Amino acid sequence: MITRTKTGSLKPTARFNLLHTTSSQSDPTSYNEANKMLEWRKAMAAEFLALQKQETWQLVPAPINKQILGCKWTFRTKLHADGSIARYKARLVALGNQQEYGLDYVETFSPVAKLPTIRVLFTVALYHDWKIHQLDVENAFLHGDIQETVYMRQPKGFEDPANPHHVCLLHKAIYGLKQALRQWYTTFCNHLLKLGFLPSQADPSLLILHKGNTTLFLLVYVDDILLTGNDEGAISSFLQQLNSTFALKHLGSAHHFLGIRIQHNQDKYFLSQETYAASIIHQANLENCNPTANPSCTKLPAAINSSSSTMTDPSVYRQITGALQYLTITRPDIAFAVNTLSQHMHSPQDSHFFLLKRLLRYIKGTIAYGLPITKSDLRLTTYSDADWASDPITRKSTSGYCTFLGRTLLSWTVKKQTTVSRSSTESEYRALTAATADTLWLKRLLADFFISHDFPVDLHCDNTSAIALAQNPVYHARTKHIEIDHRFLREHISSGHLRLIPIKTEDQIADIFTKPLSTPRFKFLRDKLTIVSDPFA
């Protein structure tokens, strides 16, 4: 008997997984895919209308022997802080990777606000009981004019039927161009300068208006803006002036900035990235993992079975580790563990996969943790530490330091030193020098907020030899090669900018940034860093 099995016409049995929950639909990756859905067609039409209103380009015949850039549509679903859908966003992006330096662009650099500046802004506003307004600029890059002659093909799906072979001669810095960010920043800041704002000397992305009794502070991070000051009437008048030139959206009080959830009550801000942390755990497929209490371990197990791990692909290791670096904005307790993993991006071994999984298990158990900003005095305090020759291969030391403004943690750093130190004193001294430079910058930044800090900043160190070397004008044979750092640190101590204070090792907060710790010790220092669970939950 000739059956369908013998002829090969038997269809395979469809087996359905009734226990599987369907995940949310991902964003489309091409125009053809997006064009099948109504919400994305509306988003593309709205974007194209905005481009026409801004007179972004002019259709001209295709030139001969000229570079013509391509373009593509990108799609992203914008979410609220609680994970619900806010809107569907389509963006037309020029293929700037086809541009040639000197022909299509020259300068590309544009400053963005430094993260410690954002924390200082929240701390100062909380101290003075000022409201922080959050603004967003629609199609921000289209406000910047470009000086170069750049041609681009017409966007797919919106070709002019009368001139289908014409190309776009760009007048505005459309998204994707290498000079777009710089042109937007230049255009926006020049407009603010005309209104009386002046850039900060410590951070050019902070602009300050000080007229009479009115003081306003405006912080720019690409097209996301924070605005605060002591006069709500002046803020309202300024927003009306700004809205006449740029299409602004006033989002109310700061609540979700750069992916950071901002919660506020009368005397506290709480910054967290719970949704972002959950997305990283989902990417690693560890939603059901068992949490752990420590992000790192002081001793690796004798045998590591990598076959049982869900992350054995080096590209996945690099993706997740890179994503974790952004999580350290509000989670300094994982800064050392992320720094350790980041040093092995090129060739991760089984031990690094084990440490990455352990870190993700710790994040799973502390997913609601974040950084509080509390109302207190505005006095700077810095802690500096180093772990001598901690790298077993290069024998380089690890520096770690952090700075508080009152009880609020402003800045922290974990970094492997660039040179090998010949003694623990030298490694501690180099960490002190780096902490001094960061503290002096924060002191200048506070001066731009009109907060005088005339008294010396307390710099805590647990190495008595490094303190003696910094305070006593004696050059030893083993310290001749660090003379520049020696002069730099001693000059600021003698001038009264800093005051070195010895501290016990068990009270050294910066110890959490230099080495893996036991769980009780880690939790003790994490509490000193003020990293806590969501107090508003």
Give the chain's domain count.
3
- Whether the pLDDT of residue 383 is over 90: the answer is yes
Domain identity same for 243 and 148: yes
- pLDDT at position 311 is 63
Q: Burial letters for 114-127: b for 16+ Cβ neighbours within 10 Å, e otherwise? A: bbbbbbbbbbbbbb
pLDDT tens per residue, range 199-228? 999 999 999 999 989 999 999 998 889 999
- Give domain status of residue 328, yes or no: yes
- pLDDT at position 318 is 92
The predicted model gives 68-83 an average pLDDT of 84
Domain identity same for 249 and 126: yes
How do strand 133-137 and strand 68-69 relate by DSSP bridges? unpaired
- Whether the pLDDT of residue 331 is over 50: the answer is yes
Domain identity same for 310 and 244: no
Q: Using DSSP, state whether 354 is helix, strand or coil.
A: helix
- Whether the pLDDT of residue 111 is over 70: the answer is yes
- Cα separation, 217 vs 207, whole angstroms: 6
DSSP-derived secondary structure for 397-426: -EEEEEEEETTEEEEEEEEE-SS--SSHHH
- Give domain status of residue 247, yes or no: yes
Q: How many CB atoms lie within 10 A of CB 483?
A: 10
Domain identity same for 266 and 253: no
pLDDT tens per residue, range 313-322? 888 999 999 9
- Cα separation, 447 vs 201, whole angstroms: 10
Domain identity same for 384 and 240: no
Domain identity same for 269 and 371: yes
For the chain, the farthest-separated pair of C-alpha atoms sits apart, in whole angstroms, at 103
pLDDT tens per residue, range 184-201? 888 889 999 999 999 999
- Give domain status of residue 482, yes or no: yes
- Whether the pLDDT of residue 126 is over 80: the answer is yes
What DSSP designation does 105 have? B
- Whether the pLDDT of residue 389 is over 50: the answer is yes
What pTM was computed for the model? 0.85
Task: Check: CB of residue 184 under 8 Å from CB of residue 111.
Answer: no
- Whether the pLDDT of residue 95 is over 70: the answer is yes
| Structure-token match 């902490």, residue found | 435
- Give domain status of residue 446, yes or no: yes
Domain identity same for 120 and 234: yes
- Whether the pLDDT of residue 400 is over 90: the answer is yes
- Give domain status of residue 268, yes or no: yes
- Give domain status of residue 168, yes or no: yes
Which CATH number belongs to the domain containing residue 401 in this structure?
3.30.420.10
- pLDDT at position 228 is 94
Domain identity same for 107 and 203: yes
pLDDT tens per residue, range 234-289? 999 999 888 888 878 888 899 889 889 999 988 899 999 999 999 999 999 899 88
| Structure-token match 């990455």, residue found | 356
Domain identity same for 523 and 436: no
- pLDDT at position 484 is 66
- Cα separation, 186 vs 194, whole angstroms: 12
Average pLDDT, the chain: 87
Q: Using DSSP, state whether 386 is helix, strand or coil.
A: strand
- Give domain status of residue 9, yes or no: no
Task: Check: CB of residue 174 under 8 Å from CB of residue 95.
Answer: no
Query: Which of 258, 276, 295 delimits the end of a domain?
Result: 258
The predicted model gives 290-305 an average pLDDT of 85
Q: Burial letters for 202-231: b for 16+ Cβ neighbours within 10 Å, e otherwise? A: bbbbbbbbeeeebbbbbbbbbbbbbbbbeb
Percent of the chain with pLDDT over 70: 91
- Give domain status of residue 21, yes or no: no
- Cα separation, 266 vs 148, whole angstroms: 50
Q: In the structure encoding, which two tokens stand for residue 16, read together?
A: 């359905």
Domain identity same for 120 and 215: yes
DSSP-derived secondary structure for 273-329: -HHHHHHHHHHTT-TTPPP-S-SS-SS--S---GGG-S---HHHHHHHHHHHHHHTT
- Cα separation, 307 vs 354, whole angstroms: 11
- Cα separation, 128 vs 375, whole angstroms: 9
Domain identity same for 182 and 54: yes
- Cα separation, 154 vs 73, whole angstroms: 11
| Structure-token match 């992916």, residue found | 259
Q: In the structure encoding, which two tokens stand for residue 205, read together?
A: 């992305």
Q: Burial letters for 147-178: b for 16+ Cβ neighbours within 10 Å, e otherwise? A: eeebbbbbbbebeeeeeeebbbebebbbbbbb
- pLDDT at position 487 is 75
Range of the domain at 348: 259-375+516-537
- Whether the pLDDT of residue 308 is over 60: the answer is no
Domain identity same for 444 and 369: no
The predicted model gives 104-109 an average pLDDT of 79
